[in-house]
Every structure is written in C-alpha cells, then in structure tokens.
Amino acid sequence: MAHRSRDVMASPQENDAVQPTVVCFGETMGMFTPTSTAPLNTATGFTLGTGGAESNVAMHLAELGHRVAWVSKVGTDPIGTKIIDALRGAGVDTRWAGRTAHAPTGLYLKEPDTGSGAHVFYYRTGSAASTLKIADAVDWPLAGARWIHTTGITPALSGTCSALVEHVLDSAAGWGATVSFDINFRPGIWSVEEAAPRLLALARKATVVLVGLDEAAVLWGSVTAADVRALLPDLPYLVVKDSSIDATEFALAADGTETVTVVPARKVDVVEPVGAGDAFAAGYLSSLISGEGSAECLARGHSRAAWALGSREDFRPGLGRRLHADEPHSVDLASVALSSDPALEPRR
C-alpha cells in the first residue's frame, strides 16, 4: 500500500466492490460559463459546472453500460467535491480519486460562441491534478483493468504528469490492459514546439490513438489522414477525425494487413463544439471494446459527437445506448447484456 502522507482518498461508494474494466485518468476542473450568450467581460450571471476530457469520456462510457473509473486528484475545496459528486452521479467509480489540501482544484472559464467561436481560459497552473506522479498510480486499479484511456492534456500539466503518462503507456501491456490515447492538443497550456515531439512519442506507445486532422496539421504539418498514418504506421488502431467531414480508421491486423475505413460525419446544427471530441472518443471506444466492426465504431463515435454538439455542456447526458434508426448497428444492442461483461477484448 502506497504511503499517502497528508493526502486523502475520496470515500468509497456503495456497492462499488466490483473492479472497473475501464479506467480513465486526467484532470477535471470546475467550469464557469455565462448564463447568457455574452462575452465574459460583459456577462453578469454564471453557472458552475465541471469539465475534463477524460472524465467526459468516462461519463459517456458509463452511460453506455461500461464499468468505468476515473482517477486523478482534486483539492479538498468545494469544486473538488462538486467534481466527485458529478462523476458519481453519472455512474463513474471515483474510489481512487485522490484529494489534497495542498493544491486547489483547477478552474476554467468558457466563453460561448458570440461570432468567433467558443473560447476557454484555463486557471490550472499548480492545480491538484498537476501534482500527479507515478507513485500516485500505485493504488489505481490499472492492473485489473482491461482498458485505460488518457489524453495528451495530462503530459502538458507538469513534468511529473508527463512521466506518469509514459509510465502507464509503458506498463499497460504487462498489466494486461489496452491503452487508448486521444492527442487533444491544448495550445493554451504548452507550445507546439514542446508538444509536437512529446505527443508523437507518447502516441507511438499506445494501442489506439485518436487525433483531429486539424491538430495533426498544427503539430506535425499533416495534410491528410494518410500523412498521420505515415507518422504512426505501427499502431493497431489510428482514428483521424476531419471535423464535420468524416473520420478514418486505420486498423492493423496481427499479420500486417491494414484495413482503412472512412465514415462520414453526421450533419447537425452545432450549438457548441466543446466536448464533441470526447463524445466521439467514447462512442468509438465503446464499440471497439465491445468487438463491433470498424464502420459501427466510427458511426457510434459520430452519433455521440452529434448529440454533444447540440448542447453547451461539456457532457450531455441522455443519449444512452438506445437504438436509433439513423445509427448503424451490426447487432441488436438492446439485447446485449453489457452489465455482465461490459469490456470485451478489442478486435484483432
């Protein structure tokens, strides 16, 4: 058992003895958003919510029937409590979420789209999550998980966070876990010069990588999905999302045979794009974990992204795993007992 000094763990949930099959780790922050569509400098009313790429994915996966845990660290402040409560309320296991009195929970302000797109402003330097280190992961349920998900945001938070991500990526195979890594480049917290080589090196250690073509263009000068694949040729699964156009999956079989699948994005009215990438990741990963085909995985990702685009919330609940006439599916998902085995081995 790792020595925790003055930090404490979140109290256990009821009926939570079951080992999670999916573990997501990364920072979640308090999120202040104007109650009206107004610039931050003129807004007078705000709502306080929560937001974090990895916890967004965790909440979507929980809604899709997976046993999922979120691990990270928050302060012992009210924002930290709000985050833990929100995740628990969404069905995510928070038993391993650390809390500390020595660093605050991170915050960010989200400015709605007033004509030039939505904007976010981070206040996360020195946050509780930025103090995460390899030793914190000793008690996390990583060795018992089948799937681990994280993003390129975490290594940007601090040197110890970067080392932690690399440690997890290097150790996952020994734990018997598959790792998915969403690039999620955030120019607000590190430069292209620093991020580009680091994210590429980390991505090469994962089994599944998701990246937006726009991100790849900024980071590595990639123009097409094939350009990204040339940088990451040995990944079993690479998904390149081209905004509202399509998503391309490159799947590499054990015998070296590669399959390329392209599925167009859904056409929807966009309320706000923040959170859509996380929704796509969760939808895609849910189907991949459950053994569905490439087209179904990408379509599930598009469907959840389309749902998220219709809300100003980072996580929009309510879509569930219900069937929709306009959502392709290869099996009757309503008859699949995910609760009995929600994280099957991925396709090979």
In the numeric block, the tokens 């202040």 are attached to 32
The answer to whether 157 and 128 are in contact (CB under 8 A) is no
Neighbours of 14 (CB within 10 A): 5
Element (H, E) at 263: strand 258-264
pLDDT at 334: 28
**Given 136, 182, 278, 314, which residue is catalytic?**
278
- CA 305 to each of CA 74, 273, 288: distance values in angstroms, whole numbers, following the listed order: 27, 9, 16
Instruction: Give the DSSP letter of residue 47.
Output: E
Pair 58, 68: CB distance under 8 Å: yes
| Residues 48 and 54 sit within 8 Å (Cβ to Cβ) | no
What is the pLDDT, as a whole number, of residue 91? 93
| Annotated catalytic residue 85 | no
Mapped onto helix, strand or coil, the DSSP state of residue 316 is: coil
Contact 200, 185 (CB under 8 A): no
What was the pLDDT predicted at 31?
92
Cross-strand bridge partners of residue 25:
71
So what's the pLDDT on residue 21? 94
Predicted confidence at residue 306, as pLDDT, reads 79
Q: Which residue has the tokens 């939570």?
A: 16
H-type alpha helices, the chain: 53-63, 78-89, 154-157, 159-175, 192-203, 213-220, 225-231, 276-289, 294-308
Whole-number Å distance between alpha carbons of 300 and 24: 19
Instruction: Print pLDDT tens along the chain (348 aa).
Output: 333 333 444 433 444 568 899 999 999 999 998 888 888 999 999 999 999 999 999 999 998 999 999 999 999 999 999 999 999 999 999 999 999 999 999 999 988 777 777 788 999 999 999 999 999 999 999 998 999 999 999 999 999 999 999 999 999 999 999 999 999 999 989 999 999 999 999 999 999 999 999 999 999 999 999 999 999 999 999 999 998 889 999 999 999 999 999 999 877 655 455 668 899 999 999 999 989 999 999 999 988 887 666 456 666 565 655 333 223 333 332 222 222 233 333 443
Which residue has tokens 């400015």? 111
Cα distance between residue 312 and residue 228, in whole Å? 30
Q: How far apart are CA 249 and CA 178, in angstroms?
A: 17
Supply 204's token pair: 């090469």
Distance of CA 307 to the CA centre of its chain: 16
Q: Which positions ≥6 away from 280 have C-beta within 8 Å?
A: 210, 241, 247, 301, 302, 304, 305
> Which pLDDT does position 7 carry in this prediction?
45
